[in-house]
């Protein structure tokens, strides 16, 4: 589904990703862990198509097609979704209106029929229930005045509504209390399916107790330095990221 090969990315003239290769198959959940500044969020942003990230080398294929040639909205229509680390507040833009416009824009691009407001509201109610989000949030402006936890749950709600093929969760767990974390995890787990893949970017192993990954990668200094099964996350939690750095040094020596 997603094949990243030897990806090098610069931000503001500084090389952040230094040759990443990663293959994600349908149905899999990949966790990307790593210390601050390792390039985790850069990877998420490059996949979603944010400006300001210069790919100097390497390729990304999604569904057999080159992803980097697509505009952000084309990537969304193709099935890429990024749950933002810092969801943006957009005053004056109604949440429901925005979500319906987004869903219909995607459907239109895929040549599917657009949903009318009745069909859309029915879909919204189904998805809201899973995330325990209040109806009232839908009538407000996008993320405006939402608490940190509400913003993150709103991201997962959007994901549930848009039903992407590949969902990238960028530190969705940061700033969440244990209840909100469980709700987010429930939302994600409810969406796990043989045709859908997840890339879960996180700093802590805690989230991975609830969203159990198939593969765990450790990203340090712009490279994947270690990959393994879910037990890798536990070992990291025990030893800390310094342990990885030491192993890396040992390997290089």
Partner 1 sequence: MDASLIDAFGTGDAREREESWRYSKAALRALSQQDFTEADEQAPLSPALRAQFEWPQTQGRRLVFVNGAYAPACSDTSGIGDALTIAQAVDRRTLLTIAAGFGGTLHLVYANVPSAGATRWQASSEIRVLGGSAHVVEQHVGEVGADVLGALVSQFQIDAGARVQITTLSDLPDSVSLYRRTQAALADDAVFGGAHAILGGRLQRFDIGIALAGAKARFDSRGVFALRGRQHADVHLDVRHVARDTACDIVWRGVADQRARGIFHGAITVAAGADGADAQLSNKNLLLSPHAEIDTQPVLEIYADEVKAAHGATVGQLDERALFYLRSRGLPLEEARRLLIGAFCRSVFADVTEAALRERIETLLDARVLAGGGGA
Q: Which residues bind partner 1 (CB under 8 A)?
A: 48-51, 71-73, 75-77, 81-82, 84, 87-88, 90-93, 98-99, 101-103, 105-106, 109, 141-142, 158, 162
Q: How far is the CB of 216 from partner 1 (least distance, A)?
A: 25
92 or 251: CB nearest partner 1: 92
Q: How far is the CB of 105 from partner 1 (least distance, A)?
A: 5
Q: How far is the CB of 125 from partner 1 (least distance, A)?
A: 20
32 or 82: CB nearest partner 1: 82
30 or 75: CB nearest partner 1: 75
Which residues contact residue 86 at a Cβ distance below 8 angstroms, ignoring those fewer than 6 apart? Answer: none
DSSP string, 47-90: HHT-TTEEEEEEEEEETTEEGGGS-HHHHHHHTEEEE-SSPPPE
Q: How far is the CB of 78 from partner 1 (least distance, A)?
A: 10
144 or 209: CB nearest partner 1: 144
Closest CA to 48 of 19, 88, 101: 88
Q: How far is the CB of 75 from partner 1 (least distance, A)?
A: 8
Residue 4 near residue 22 (C-beta atoms within 8 A): yes
75 or 127: CB nearest partner 1: 75
Q: Which two tokens stand for residue 184?
A: 């987010």
Residue 215 near residue 188 (C-beta atoms within 8 A): no
Which residues contact residue 34 at a Cβ distance below 8 angstroms, ignoring those fewer than 6 apart? Answer: 40, 203, 218, 219, 220, 241
């Amino acid at each position: 589904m997603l094949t990243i090969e030897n990806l090098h990315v610069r931000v503001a003239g500084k090389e952040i990703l230094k040759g990443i290769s990663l293959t994600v198959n349908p149905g899999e959940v990949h966790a990307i862990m790593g210390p601050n500044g390792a390039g985790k969020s850069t990877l998420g942003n490059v996949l979603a198509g944010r400006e300001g990230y210069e790919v100097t080398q390497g390729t990304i294929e999604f569904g057999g097609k080159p992803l980097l040639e697509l505009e952000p909205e084309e990537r969304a229509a193709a099935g890429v979704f990024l749950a933002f680390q810092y969801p943006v507040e957009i005053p004056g833009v109604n949440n429901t209106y925005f979500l319906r416009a987004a869903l219909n824009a995607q459907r239109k691009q895929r040549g599917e029929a657009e949903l009318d407001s009745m069909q859309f509201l029915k879909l919204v109610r189904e998805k809201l229930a899973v995330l325990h989000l209040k109806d009232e949030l839908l009538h407000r402006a996008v993320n405006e005045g939402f608490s940190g936890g509400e913003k993150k749950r709103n991201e997962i709600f959007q994901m549930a509504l848009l039903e992407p093929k590949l969902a990238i969760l960028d530190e969705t767990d940061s700033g969440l209390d244990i209840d909100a974390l469980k709700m987010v995890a429930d939302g994600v787990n409810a969406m796990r399916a043989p045709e859908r893949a997840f890339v879960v970017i996180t700093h802590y192993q805690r989230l991975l107790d609830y969203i159990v990954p198939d593969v765990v990668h450790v990203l340090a200094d712009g490279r994947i330095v270690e990959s393994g099964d879910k037990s890798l996350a536990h070992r990291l939690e025990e030893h800390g990221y310094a342990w990885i750095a030491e192993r890396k040094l040992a390997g290089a020596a």
